């Protein structure tokens, strides 16, 4: 069983991911803003992070995003080898064959990238894969 922090602003989607991860024996915690995620990460230890790139809940100036949380992780764990794995998720569709969003995530040391939409079982499989590494 892994402790997983999920940062996702779509309440229904996050709830579906949480239910499925619980069904697979994990302990997921949901956050809908980067400030919630940072506070929870400071209070608890997590084995995997699932981070949505764009967070738009109650943030009219768009200052809150997955990037804010990724910067927190980089500061907290400057050595990528010491950082728990991060699964980056985004609904942005890449143009052509290269994914600029995927490259953006890599710049922050994100090891895995999933493009929405994907099923909750696909997320559970990716979590399993990440934990097996």
Check pLDDT > 80 for residue 49: yes
| Per-residue pLDDT at 130 exceeds 70 | yes
- Is residue 103 predicted with pLDDT exceeding 80? no
Cis upstream peptide for 117 (omega within 30°): yes
What is the chain's mean pLDDT, rounded? Answer: 86
Position 113 scores a pLDDT of 86
Alpha carbons 67 and 45: distance in angstroms, whole number: 20
- The pLDDT value recorded for residue 56 is 63
Q: How far apart are CA 100 and CA 7, in angstroms?
A: 21
What pLDDT, on the 0 to 100 scale, is given for residue 16?
Answer: 97
* Cα(7)–Cα(66) distance, integer angstroms: 7
In angstroms, the CA 74 to CA 67 distance is: 10
Of 61, 66, 73, 62, the residue nearest 114 (C-alpha): 66
Of 104 and 115, the structure prediction assigns the larger pLDDT to 115
Supply 90's token pair.
């985004």
Q: Percentage of residues in the chain with pLDDT exceeding 90?
A: 52
Query: Residue 38: pLDDT band by 50, 70, 90 thresholds?
Result: very high
Q: Report d(CA 8, CA 51) in Å as an integer.
A: 7
């Amino acid at each position: 069983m892994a402790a997983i922090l999920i940062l996702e602003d779509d309440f229904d989607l996050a709830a579906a991911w949480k239910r499925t991860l619980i069904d697979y024996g994990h302990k997921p915690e949901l956050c809908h803003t980067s400030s919630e995620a940072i506070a929870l990460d400071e209070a608890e230890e997590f084995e995997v992070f699932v981070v949505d790139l764009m967070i738009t809940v109650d943030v009219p100036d768009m200052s809150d995003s997955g990037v804010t949380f990724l910067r927190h992780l980089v500061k907290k764990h400057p050595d990528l080898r010491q950082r728990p794995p991060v699964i980056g998720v985004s609904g942005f569709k890449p143009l052509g064959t290269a994914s600029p969003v995927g490259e953006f995530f890599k710049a922050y040391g994100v090891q895995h990238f999933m493009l929405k939409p994907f099923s909750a079982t696909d997320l559970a499989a990716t979590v399993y894969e990440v934990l097996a590494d």
